[in-house]
Structure formats: C-alpha cells, structure tokens
Chains A and B, each alone.
Chain A
Amino acid sequence: MLRLYKKLRKSFFGKLGLAIVFVFVLLALLGPSVSPHDPNAMNLTKRLAPPVWAKGGTWNHPLGTDMLGRDVLSRVVCGTRNSMMVGLLSSFIALFIGVILGMISGYLGGWFDVILMRWVDIMLAIPAVMLAVVLVAILGPYPISIILAMGLTMWSEYAKVIRSRILVLREEPFVLAAKTMGAAARKIILKHIFPNIIYIIIVIFTLQIGLIILWSAGLSFIGLGGATLSWGWDVAAGRVYLARAWWLSTIPGLAIFFCVLGCNLFGDWLRDALDPGIKKVV
C-alpha cells in the first residue's frame, strides 16, 4: 500500500485521474445538498438562459437553464449519482459473474470450459450494445434494466483474463502442493488462487468502469434509462434545441467525458503500478 502511494505521488496522470474520480464520487455522495437549485424545479419564465460567460447569462444559473427552465448545473451535479451508481453496480455484477465463471472454467476445465469459451465468442459476435439494448427493452426502461444489461454483457473480459491466468496458476508448485495434501477444490480456489488474481480483478474493474459509464450513458441517450435525471438523457433532450441552445447537450456530455477520463487515467496508472501482467492494451 505504501509503495503504491509513493508511486502515485510520482505520477502526474495517476494523481490527476484520482483527483477527477474523487470529485465525481464526492458529487455523487453529496449530490442534492451541494447543487444550487432543485434539479427538477421548472421555471418557464427563465427557460433557455445561456451560461454565465455568454451574453445574457447570470450567476444565478452559471451553466444556464434548459427548455423547462431547470438549472443545468444542478442537473449535472445531481445526475452524477445516477450515472455513478449505474456504472458501479453493473461493474460489480460483471465482476461477480466473470470472476466466478472464469475461476471455475480455468480450474475445472472440461465441458464447462468449452461451453463457456464458446459463450464468450458469441458475446464477441453479438455487439454487446445491441444485446444490452434488447435486454433493456425486455425488462422495461428503468435504471435497473441498464444495470442488469451492462452487467450481463460486460463480464466476458473478466472471465477470459482470469481463466487464462488460472490455467497458469493451477500448475504452480504451491497449488500442486495443496492438491497433494488433499485440499478441496473450493479451498484451493479461494485460499490459494484467489489472492493471486485479486490485482487483476481490481485493474480490470477500474479500466472497465469508464467504459461502462460511457455505454450506459449511451443507453440513457437512446431513451432506455427511464430516469429523467441522468447525463445521457439530458444530452438527448438538449438535441432538439441544438441550434438555439448549444449548452444543453454540450455540458452534460462534458460531465460524462471528464468522469470517464478520470476513470481511464486512474485505471491506466493502476495497471502500470500494480503490473499484474495484463497486456498494456486491455
């Protein structure tokens, strides 16, 4: 941990990424209590007010107002919680499924392994976005559908990487020794193998969460998120007013961009720092 901290102090991008992530986590936690206005409060007399630096902008609404006179800054701040939650929860689902399947597949091999790897191939053949779109459509347009859809489509990365790592690990002397001493498969996996793949899991998690936030924003953009307080939805809603009010789509999109950028910077740094042997390009 201390070594990691020392490495972090030396890396500009690592620090930058962590700082950005920290800000967004803070916004997600505090949300409504730091936003200047109620994100859903409409005021039709003040609709489409421009941001403060543009002509006619006021400090009352620093980032302007939308077509219903709602404060854009407040909507971005309060939308953070929704976007982060979707990203985190779906990442955890993907992690859970992928790690378990990857471990079983790598350790036991046999038929389970063959079927699972075929399954992963299929996940490559059907664009994950399409599958997610269909899942959301079946489950109905709620945030929980997006969470499930992303979780159920994004686990294959975990399964693939962990399986291949376990194929190597299970031939290692310490695993063979445990086996010889009669340890049960469950115990070997949990006590001997799992501690060796935990870094990989952390790294995939941080690298993937940005992607998941990006794609779930895409699903909300299409209108499948149901919740009307999310960045993706706000970008979509502002599209109609693009010629008159450029800030409506632009600003929530910037929020997505910075949030994902922070995750990617931090994830890239963490991968290099922990160096769990995942190729540079994962």
Chain B
Amino acid sequence: MLKYSLALLLTLNLGAQAGGELRFCLRGDPKTFNPLLVEDENSETILYLTGGVLIRLNRYTQELEGELASKWKVSENGRRIDFDLRPNVLFSDGTPFSCEDVVYTMRQLMDPAMHSPAADTFRSTAGATESRCTGPASVMVRFPGPVAALAARFDEIGILSARSPHKEAAVLGPFTVAEYKPGVQVLLRRNPNYWKRDANGKQLPYLDAIRLDIQQNREIELLRFRRGELDMVNKLDPDMYDRLNTEMPHAVVDAGPSLDWEVVFFNQVAGAPLPDYKKRWFRSDGFRRAIWEAVNRDDLCRVVYRGHAKPAAGPVSISNHFWINTALKPPAYSVASAMGRLEHDGFHRSGDALFDREGHKVEFSMITNAGNKLHERALTLIQQDLAKVGIQLNIVILDFPSLIERISRSFNYESVLMAFTNIDLDPTDQMNIWLSSGANHQWNPNEKTPETAWEAEVDKLMQAQAASQDLKVRKANFDRVQEIVAEKAPILFLVNPNALSAVSANLKNVTPALLRPQIYWNAERLTIGTKYVSQR
C-alpha cells in the first residue's frame, strides 16, 4: 500500500513538472544560427525562441516590455538609449550575463563587414556607434543620428556572450538549440538557466522541448496536424482554413487582417524598355486610380481569400490601430467611375476594347510569382474585372528570381501583383519604399532626385517622421503620406489578408496575436496537456 502510494505521488510529481514537447514546422532549413545575421523566416523563428533580448514587443498587447533590461531610457532625440540590466542572469551554459555582453553584441552588430539587416535599421546616419558600460549593471548605446522607434528595434537583437567558449550557442532565451539535422528537424530544449519566472515563482519555460520539423509541403503539414503529429500550423491558406474548419472548428484561428499587403503597381521607370505610349498610361495618376476602382476588392476577399481578408485603403492595415489614417477608405468598386477617369484621361471605348487618345488598344501584362495559387487566382479575377472597362490584361506567371530581376534590374515589366510582408507596426520600416531614392520604391526605385512634386513631399514627410520622437508629430506626418498615396496611387493596395493558423486542443495558454509569431509569441508560457498554469 505504501509502495503504491509512493509510486502514485512520484508519478503525479513528475507529471506536474514535465512540460511536454511542442511540435510544428519550419518551411525550410534555417540559414544561420547567428542572431546577428538572421534574414530568413526560419532563422527568425529560431532567434525568437532562443535569443535573449533587452526589450520585447509584446505581440499581443503591442506594448514594449523589458526583458534583459529592467528599465530603459531614450534621450538625445533618439540618438541614445540607456539600459538598466537585470541582475543574476546567466547564459544557457552558466556564463554570467553582464553589460559587457551588450557592448560586445552591439560592436559585432554594427560592424560594417557584418552587413546585418538588423543593424541597417539603426543606420539612419553614417558614422560610428558608441556602446559602453555605464555602471556594473547598466549600459548605453549612442548612434550617430536619431533612430525612429529606437527602443522597439532592440526586439530583434539577440544578445551574444562576450566570454562564453560556446559562442552563439550560449543563449539567454527560453530555449537552446539541442540538435540540428539538416533537412529534417531542429530540436530545441528548455534553457535550464532561463531567468524568467511566472507569478508563482516557477521557472519558465513550461515546455521541455520544441521540435521543429522541416516541411515545405503544406498539404503534408496539414495532414500531419490532422493526425495529431503537429500541435500547430503557423500560416494557413484560406482554402486549407476552410477545409480544416469543417472538420476541426475548434482548431482554426483567424486573428483578423494581418499587416501584409497584396498590391499591384505599374512600371514608372523612365528608362524602362516599354513603348512610350504605355509609359504614358502607367505614369498617369488618372489611369492608375481608374484601375484601382475597376478591381472588385470585395470579390477578391470573398472569392480568392474566402472571406479571410479585408479590402485595403493604403499602406497601413486596419489592424494597425495607431498608425492607420481612419479618414481614408478603400476606393469603392465602380466601373462607371473608372470609365469616367479613363475618359477624362483621353481614353475611349470602341466595342469591347479600350483605346488611348492615339488609337492604341489598351492591353498590358501583369506578372506575379509562380507557386502562389492565391496570386494566380487574384490575377484571373482582376483580368475579368478589367475586361469590363475594355482593358485586355495578359497574365504572366514567372518564377521568383525572374520576377525580381525584372522589377529591380532590367525593369522589363509592365505591372506586377505582389505580396509585401510587414513585420513592424512602425512606418519607419517602410522608409525604403516611400523615399524616392529608396531601392524598394518599387515602381521607380533609386531616383537621383524626386521626379514628381508629390514624391518630393513624401520624402520630406518620411524624413520628418523618422527624425521626430513625438508620436503625435510622426502620426500627423505619416497620415499625410497616406493621403498622398491614396490620391496618387503609385501602389494599388488591394487587400490585407487575415492571419490564419491552426492550433491543437492539446496546446494550452495560446492567445493568438496579430503580429508574428502569432501563436508562439509567448512560447515560454505554452504547455502541452490539461494542466492549468499561471497566465502571468
């Protein structure tokens, strides 16, 4: 009897401590485990789960929270930031964490030879970055020029150890990389030295391990999820969402419109190898606005995205409550209004076809990347919509490298349908798109000087908002940018697709957020099984 009771107690005790293993998929191999060189989505996942950061953007509340830094202060108009560091924190291998590790990380990061994309977000001005310990547990970093949303940028910087013999394998995050089998899986185990505890004093993370299977095929991923071999699917296609919804309605999550864009833009590069009359069409504000009105965005959302998308008005998603210019609305679908604008621009209908003032039939191509069924369907839909105003649209599907070459090197294209992924709420992330000299000013990149008055105005507004630390001023400037973009339509914003995912009933403490990573943003508090655990 005693033996039985002891055995039972032991089992219960073990059950209370065991956190289980979370299983989901990466779409490909991570390219690097060095936190400073992370560029691809798979490496970002590893960084998020293993990297310790000074400040974390809470994906759910969208507020900044101190992690390794208990406090921070931004000064000198966004040039300087001071951190008070948490005491008694250890790296996963037991090496103590100190201000020297922050200094070391910043020096590595800002090394020009590193070419770290995370570092580029700090490089608003040329010059050297200064970082030093200002006390036993405090550190400061000073940049050569003001950096917009300076504190939030540290969410992406995983702190490296200056002294550990294990180099970047020594981490401060909730998990460590235990095993990597290329092409097969990455296994993460809980960090035994993780500093964070829950409200009851229990050390986080609750999970023992996270197994990331490398799986590119989404059908197989879904099949495995259905079979219970996976605990979540990060990104679901709308039709997969609907299929899963009929079978496992409790498992699907629609977090609402994401920050991503589905857009169309026209080639406005002066030197593009296009006939002059086509360049005139694409450079005409009226022509672009007409196309925008001729596309039935409601049908796009309903038919292509199965209702899991919202029509977009501009570069800010409806979910980005602070930055969106609420005065702007998506242009209403109207063939009549579109025809009106075209006629005003000198176009005329003859039979089923539209002609410009010189008698050229309005026919052009729209390219998109292969392998994306949603884009192919969207293009087919747009083709039929434009036929109603007499425009013949030729659909050309290209593999991604060919598409990139056309839009950024040869400029041998007419129009494009593309997706833009936005990680951040802050519009400073979009600087390279809106600045006329920007490489991502996609319709006419790398302009030596702004070619239009409105682009010059947008340049000034974007630089002003980046230089200011006053949120009201920044918002006012960016609101005006949104107004100009809506009027001039250099990019036709079609929809913001919803953030869709699937979560197994076994996975507890899930609170889906809008920002990536939507499901596992609080990975340290997730657990597998039926036990209740503290939320705070």
Q: Do A and B come from one complex?
A: no
- B contacts, CB < 8 Å to A: none
